[in-house]
Structure 1
Amino acid sequence: MPDLILASASPRRKELLAQIGVVFEQCNVDIDETVLPAERPEDYVRRLACEKSQQGSQQNASQWAVLGADTTVVVDGKILGKPVSKEDSLVMLKQLSGRTHQVMTGVALTYQGQTDSQVVVTHVTFKTLDPVLCQRYWQTGEPCDKAGGYGIQGFGAVFVEKIEGSYSNVVGLPLAETAELLCKTGIKFWQH
């Protein structure tokens, strides 16, 4: 019997949660991810994480805790979502080239009608990117479903010069902070 429901279809979040030995099931939730007018990036990821965990809790009508998360890439205060085309991807990579950006993840846990949440920020510095390399990266297919158009855990790792903060946050789930939230409800990690 699982202790937790992960309200996400993300294979990366599934792998990260399994990495710390949490017993869980996944459920997919469908929420509107439109940014609200004048919404700050940290408020945006927190709101979406809370909505995901709360909707997952309602869908499952369960006594189990439900974990939701949302990750976005932010440069110059602007949220970079998932690229919708090759051109969009190349524009994003150009914005990130040779600069430091922020990866923000909201993590929320809903349990017994209460929702607790955190926002984690990691600073990621890209080397200066060759436009030909960016074109080749698009051809890998990796940028399509990644916030900011890159995956640090995949081919996009070659772009990263330095990170300050949680690596797992950049992948999609900050593990130290997630474990902290789970402990508050008595959910164990390091289980086999």
Structure 2
Amino acid sequence: MGCPVNLVLASGSPRRRELLASLGWQFTVRIPTVEEVFLDGEDPEKAVVRLAGAKAEAAASGHPDEWIVAADTVVSLEGKILGKPSSRGDASRMLSLLSGKTHTVFTGIAVISPYGREIGVEATDVSFRTLGEDEIRAYAESGECDDKAGAYAIQGLGALLVEGIRGDYFNVVGLPLYRLSRMFGSLGFSLSDQWRLKR
């Protein structure tokens, strides 16, 4: 089959745009209108799969010839979802919870193509260093935690928070590229063709 020249990223995340662009692929961005609400007591893995699927479906509506990529990322600590902070104070609260502990980043990823669809979830464990109050306040005040799941960005200043990770680094940034590649392969878009798609 041919390469998916009509590639669409169904996300407003600049991190996901940068990761997809780093592969040299041409794509358009279409931000779906999906309310990112977690259900009471919802399992983090099920939540991100549900939301990624809903975003992909919304973006694909009326566009049967396109390849749609959608994702949703959350931070989970001891089974509880930490979404995006509502304020700097909320960010400090989240960072205090994560301090000195290991949490899991879950990203649900969905691909809808003319040849079928794939949906799955990637999990990466992230261990934080122990943080003092002044350190938590300083990072929160940097503004980097705004609009970030779990109130940190591993690809920025937040790299200094992380003692270690187990799993896919790119998943923590927001788009697990290896899993995306495997999903494309399952839909007939081979790894060789993925490299040939580079502009």
TM-score tier (shorter)? over 0.9
Question: CA separation in 2, counterparts of 1:112 and 1:98?
Answer: 46
Q: 1:110 aligns with which of 105, 112, 118?
A: 112
- Hey, what does 1:189 align to over in structure 2? 194
Contact 1:54-1:115 at 8 Å conserved across structures: no
Question: CA separation in 2, counterparts of 1:10 and 1:113?
Answer: 26
Q: 2:151 aligns with which of 141, 149, 152?
A: 149
Superimposed CA distance per residue, residues 29-82 of structure 1 (whole angstroms, 9 cap, x where no aligned partner): 121211123321000000111111111101x52401101000000001000011
Question: CA separation in 2, counterparts of 1:31 and 1:86?
Answer: 25
Q: Which amino acid aligns with 2:83?
A: G
Q: 1:175 aligns with which of 159, 174, 177?
A: 177
Question: CA separation in 2, counterparts of 1:4 and 1:184?
Answer: 16
**Which sits farther off after the overlay, 20-29 or 48-57?**
20-29
Gaps of 5+ in 1: none
Question: CA separation in 1, counterparts of 2:182 and 2:18?
Answer: 18
Superimposed CA distance per residue, residues 106-151 of structure 1 (whole angstroms, 9 cap, x where no aligned partner): 0100123843111000000000012111111122111111000000
Question: CA separation in 1, counterparts of 2:187 and 2:27?
Answer: 14
- Hey, what does 1:16 align to over in structure 2? 19
Question: CA separation in 1, counterparts of 2:48 and 2:183?
Answer: 16
Q: Which amino acid aligns with 1:132?
A: D
- Hey, what does 1:84 align to over in structure 2? 86
Is the alpha carbon distance of 1:31 and 1:113 closer, same or farther for their aligned partners in structure 2, counting shifts above 3 Å? Answer: farther
Normalised by the length of structure 2, the TM-score is 0.91
Question: CA separation in 1, counterparts of 2:115 and 2:59?
Answer: 12
**Which sits farther off after the overlay, 114-123 or 102-111?**
114-123
Regions of 4+ moved over 6 Å: none
1:33 is the counterpart of 2:36: yes
Q: 2:50 aligns with which of 47, 52, 57?
A: 47
Gaps of 5+ in 2: none
Contact 2:65-2:113 at 8 Å conserved across structures: yes
Alignment identity in percent?
42
Question: CA separation in 2, counterparts of 1:129 and 1:98?
Answer: 7
Question: CA separation in 2, counterparts of 1:20 and 1:130?
Answer: 38
Q: Which amino acid aligns with 1:104?
A: F
Question: CA separation in 2, counterparts of 1:2 and 1:130?
Answer: 49
Normalised by the length of structure 1, the TM-score is 0.94
- Hey, what does 1:161 align to over in structure 2? 163
Q: 1:140 aligns with which of 132, 139, 142?
A: 142
1:57 is the counterpart of 2:94: no
Q: Which amino acid aligns with 1:150?
A: Y
Q: Which amino acid aligns with 2:19?
A: L
Paired residues in the alignment total 191
- Hey, what does 2:5 align to over in structure 1? 2
